[in-house]
Copies of this chain bind each other. A is one copy, B any other.
Amino acid sequence: MSIQQTLEKILRQIKDGMHPSDLVDLVDDLNDAQKKELFSLISNEEAALIIQEMEEFDQVSLIRLLTKHRASSILKEMAIDDATDLLGELHPEEAKDLLALIEEEAEELRDLLRYPEDTAGGIMTTDFIALPEDLVAEDAITRLRELAPEAEIIYYVYVVDAQTKLSGVISLRDLIAAGDGTFLREIMFRNVISVPAHMDQEEVARVVARYDLLAVPVVDEEQRLLGIITVDDILDVIEEEATEDIYRLAGTGEVRGNILDASVFGIARKRVPWLLISLVGGLLSGFVIGVFEETLKSILILAIFIPVIMDMGGNVGTQSSTVFVRSLATGEIENDDVWRYFFREVKVGISMGVFNGIIIALVASLWQGIPMLGVVVGLAMFITISFAALIGTLVPMIFNHYGIDPAISAGPFVTTIKDVTGLLIYFYTASIFMKYLI
């Protein structure tokens, strides 16, 4: 297709009401010049709908293709939470310039920009409907009809008292079902679940999932309603946080934007820092082997069981770290439970150590025909596995205690500690039994 045909196709799809998420796929295939041309042909509203659905990384590069004046006009049309996120991605200078061009909503945007981006305040929108307690149902519905196009969600109607403090919530279905003259105060649900503006987004996601909410109100210290967070943003948070944990657990960084668009160098740069930790860890383990060089020289056969000791310790350590980190993230384990969890995990490690120790002892004795070698390898395996389960839980516990994401610890850090200790245990056991082995 020629450029002209591609553009015409996209413009036709916009007219036909194609969902913005699908339009984004088409826009993604254009080069910068084509994107520029496309955006010169569509309205600010259409542009805003498309940009909102883009990945933040792509939003930024697109906005930079446009004039400041045009960019600010599009920002004005975007949902306020999406506009805030986009401004937060730009350089502070760029954001300032754009904000200067946006008149009316600039103040609101500036307020929202003040919240860290991964907190309740950072992901909330201020486009919500709050009605006073002393309104009657009929008038409330009329107000909703007037306000509906503006507000992000009207499935929940939040009710505030005279001090704009959040006092209740009514679902749209209850409002419709209520008699016309009923005061909101009488039908509202008072135990409304809200979150403070500084709450971490992961925590907010847990609240929304736990109570099956479509939206959750965000309040300040005085319980004044500041904004709302809708469930579609929570879906993104859950996915983002899971991806972040998965990457950290695996010992790798995440590139921004779509992985398919990233450069070889860009990807490598995100991964190499983790590899350098592995490198140091591997060398430390090698150092341990070096220390026991004499032992190894006398009983060369010991080298054969180095990989199985390392692999088993590695798998057990990873299992323990992963289960702990994930259970903590999903709220299955609370901070109060960690010690109880830790001791049970050590028992799991010991029982797996006994089982696998016996297996490897039998394999080693029969394979090499040296029963005492079986004892050494089996014993070392038992200790290594038990210890790996302990380290695999303890290290993330310590990270968590000091407010560092425990997922970071689970990759190269745990690997290094359990490799070094595993090899120490193995060669130390071997050197004790050495006289029976030669």
Contact = CB atoms under 8 A, between A and B. Distances in A.
A268 interface: yes
Interface size class of A (residues with CB under 8 A): 35 or more
A104 interface: no
Contacts of A412: 315
A411 B341 CA distance: 24
Given A154-B173, A259-B341, A348-B271, A235 B246 contact: no
Interface string A254-274: 000011100011011001101
B259 A282 contact: no
A38 interface: no
A160 to B, nearest CB: 20
Interface stretch (A69-77, A91-99, A289-297): A289-297
Interface in A288-318: 289-290, 293, 296-297, 300, 303-312, 314-316, 318
Contact of A311 (B282, B305, B347, B363): B282
B264 A348 contact: yes
Nearest to A215: B214
A54 interface: no
A250 interface: yes
B285 A319 contact: no
Interface stretch (A59-67, A218-226, A332-340, A395-403): A332-340
Given A275-B356, A307-B282, A231 B239 contact: no
A436 interface: no
Contact of A235 (B234, B311, B314, B359): B234
Interface string A3-42: 0000000000000011101000000000000000000000
A293 B302 CA distance: 11
A426 B340 CA distance: 44
B259 A236 contact: no
Contacts of A21: 210-212
A286 interface: yes
Contact of A275 (B144, B252, B306, B352): B352
A415 to B, nearest CB: 6
Given A145-B176, A282-B309, A289-B307, 5 more contacts: A144-B173, A155-B214, A176-B176, A247-B323, A282-B311
Q: Ordered nearest first, which 6 A-B pairs have the shortest CB separation?
A: A282-B308, A285-B307, A242-B242, A250-B322, A212-B232, A282-B311
25 contacts: A18-B191, A172-B172, A172-B173, A213-B232, A235-B238, A243-B326, A246-B322, A246-B326, A252-B319, A259-B332, A267-B344, A275-B315, A275-B316, A275-B356, A278-B315, A279-B311, A281-B311, A282-B310, A283-B308, A285-B311, A286-B306, A289-B304, A293-B303, A303-B306, A314-B314
